Structure 1
C-alpha cells in the first residue's frame, strides 16, 4: 500500500445529536444518518458551513447504525436494539424485518446493503457483546461476527458466513458477483463470492489495513469502495490477540469498564473491485475522532462518527 496523502478538512457541522455512525447520500446529494437517541435525520446544505439544515425523518426507538437507501423512498436500518428495520421516509413508519436468527435475538445488527435481485445482506458484529460494550468484542477477539442474507418474500435470514472478527461495513462489487465485508477486529476486508465457480466461498480482499475498518460505502457500480477507519492500528492489541482466550476475556472485562477516548486521528481508504487502493487519506492530530463512515457528495467527503455530535466535511481527492 502506498503512503497516505493528507485528508483535508473543510468544516464541521453539528447536527443536534450524538453519534452519526453511518452516513449515506440520496439522489439529491443530501446525507442521511442515525443518531444515538434513535432519530433518523436528513442533512442538506452540508457543503456550506452556515447553510446546513437538519430534518428528522423517523425515530426507531433504538439505536440506528448502518443505513441503505431503497428506490421506493424507504430506508433499511440496522438497529443495534431492534434488528433489521425498514423505514418509510415519507411517513416515518418503522417496520421490523428481522429481529432474530434461528431463535437467537439479533442484538448487534451493523451494516446492510440491498442487491438488484431484491435480496438484503447485512452483518452482525458480535453475538456476545452489545453495542455499548463493543470494545469488549475487539479486545476478546471473539470471532462471532456474521454475514446474513434475507431473500425476497422471506422473514428468515440465512447465514452466509460466520466466525468473522467484528463484522461491520458491507459493499457489493460493481457486478454483484461478490460482497466485501469489513472485519474491524482483524483489520481486513473479506470477499464473499455470490456467483461463479467460487460462489459460497470467502477469501481475503485486503489485509493488514493501516487502521480498523468500519462502515463501507460506494456511490455506484463504477465508483470505488470507500472504507472508514475508526482508529489507527494498535500494536498492543495485535499482540493481545495472539494470547489465550482466557487472557483476552480478562482483558475484555477490564476494557468495558475503563473510560474510553478515541485517538485524535482520522483515516479513510478507497478500493477498486480488484482490491487495489485508489485513495489512502489520513489526518494526524485530527479534531474529528473515530471515523465510522464516509460518503461522497457534491465534491466533498462527509465523515460520520460514533463518537462525535456532528459530521465532518472534507475535500474529496482527485480521482486517479
Structure 2
C-alpha cells in the first residue's frame, strides 16, 4: 500500500510539472469523493446550478432533460425540458447525438435569483428560460433573427439582470474533439441578453471555441475559456479598458467550463491529452491569472472526454462530465 501511495504521489507531481504548476501551491483540499447518481440509462451532467434557496444541484443531461437532485432518498427528478418536440417515449434514456436535435441538449444553466427563473443554453434550441416550477422552456429571441450555431455556457449578472453566454461555433456540431481542436476555428462569439428589455447583443467575436463564461466578483469583466486556443480570454465590461479584451491566462490542456468561487477565484475544468491517459484536472485560478490549486480527478473520470465543470459550492466541489452517469462530489 505504501508503494502504491508513493507512485500516486510521484505521478501527481509529474502532472503538476507538466502543467507548469508548483506542487507547493497546488495541494487539493477536497480528497473525499461521492456520487450523485443520475436516473437510469442517462449520462452527461455537463454543468450544474443551485437555486436561490440552495436546492439542487440541477443539471442538463444527454437525453434532453434538466433534472433536480432531491436528496439521497429521492435522487434526481425531472424538472424541465428544452424541446417542444420531445416525448418521454422517444427521448428518455436515449443519449445518442442523433436524437438531440429532437430531444434537445441542455449545457449551461444558471438561476436569476430575483425571479427564480432558470436560464439554459441548449446546443440546438438556443437560449431558453423556465420558471421556478419547471416544465417546458420559453425560447429567448435570437440575434438578428438568426439561429445560433451551438450554444454552450452562461453566467448571470444578478445586479443588472444580464445573461452572458457563448456560441461555440458550428464546428462543435461534429462532436469530434480532434477535429474541433485541429480546426483552428475562430467563429465563436460572446453575447449578452438583457432580461428587462429582452435584447440580445453581440459583444465579442473571433473567439476560438468559447465553451465557458464567468463574471468577476465585481462584475468588471467576464472570462471566456477558449477550447481550441487553450486559453482564457478576458472581456472588460467597466473601466478604462471597457469593451476590449486580453488574454487572462494560457492553459496547458483543453479548458471547458469556468466557475467563480465566493471569494472571487475561478475553477476551470481541464483535460490534458498530452499523455497516453487523459488527465482530468480542476484548477483554481486567482484574479491575477495564477494557478493556486490543482485537483486531479483522473481516477474518478478515466475517459477520453475527461470532465466539463468544477464548481465550488458550500465547501464542496461538484464535477460534471459528458459521458458519466453521475455528478461527482468532492469534499474535505
- TM category (shorter chain) comes to 0.7 to 0.9
Q: Structure with the greater relative contact order (CA < 8 A, sep ≥ 6): 1 or 2?
A: 1
Q: Do the aligned partners of 1:126 and 1:166 also contact (CA within 8 Å) in 2? A: yes
Distance 2:259 2:238 in 1: 21
Alignment-derived partner of residue 15 in structure 2: none
Task: Output one character per residue of 1:91-128: Cα deviation in whole Å (capped at 9) or x when no partner.
Answer: 42411013x33343212111111112122111011134
Query: Which one of 257, 267, 282 corresponds to residue 215 of structure 1?
Result: 257
Alignment-derived partner of residue 268 in structure 2: 227
1:129 Cα deviation after fit: 3.8
Q: Do the aligned partners of 1:29 and 1:298 also contact (CA within 8 Å) in 2? A: no
Note if 1:38 corresponds to 2:61. no
Note if 1:106 corresponds to 2:148. yes
Judged with a 3 Å threshold, the aligned counterparts in structure 2 of structure 1 residues 306 and 131 are, in CA distance, closer, same or farther, namely farther
Alignment-derived partner of residue 89 in structure 1: 132
1:264 Cα deviation after fit: 4.7
The TM-score, its normalising length taken from structure 2, stands at: 0.77
Distance 2:220 2:297 in 1: 34
Judged with a 3 Å threshold, the aligned counterparts in structure 2 of structure 1 residues 279 and 44 are, in CA distance, closer, same or farther, namely farther
Matching of residues 80-229 of structure 1 within 5 Å: 80-98=123-141, 100-115=142-157, 116-130=159-173, 132-133=175-176, 135-207=178-250, 209-220=251-262, 222-229=263-270
Which structure carries more strand by proportion?
1
The TM-score, its normalising length taken from structure 1, stands at: 0.80
Q: Do the aligned partners of 1:8 and 1:283 also contact (CA within 8 Å) in 2? A: no
Q: List runs of 5+ in structure 1 lacking aligned partners.
A: 236-261
Secondary structure of the residue aligned to 1:130 is helix
Give the aligned length: 282
Q: Which segment is superposed worse, 3-12 or 184-193?
A: 3-12
Distance 1:219 1:131 in 2: 32
Note if 1:2 corresponds to 2:45. no
Q: List runs of 5+ in structure 2 lacking aligned partners.
A: 1-20, 84-103
Judged with a 3 Å threshold, the aligned counterparts in structure 2 of structure 1 residues 52 and 225 are, in CA distance, closer, same or farther, namely farther
Secondary structure of the residue aligned to 1:57 is strand
Judged with a 3 Å threshold, the aligned counterparts in structure 2 of structure 1 residues 288 and 128 are, in CA distance, closer, same or farther, namely closer
Q: Do the aligned partners of 1:288 and 1:308 also contact (CA within 8 Å) in 2? A: no
Matching of residues 229-268 of structure 1 within 5 Å: 229=270, 231-234=271-274, 263-268=277-282
Task: Output one character per residue of 1:114-147: Cα deviation in whole Å (capped at 9) or x when no partner.
Answer: 1121221110111344263565322212111111
1:218 Cα deviation after fit: 2.3
Distance 2:70 2:178 in 1: 32
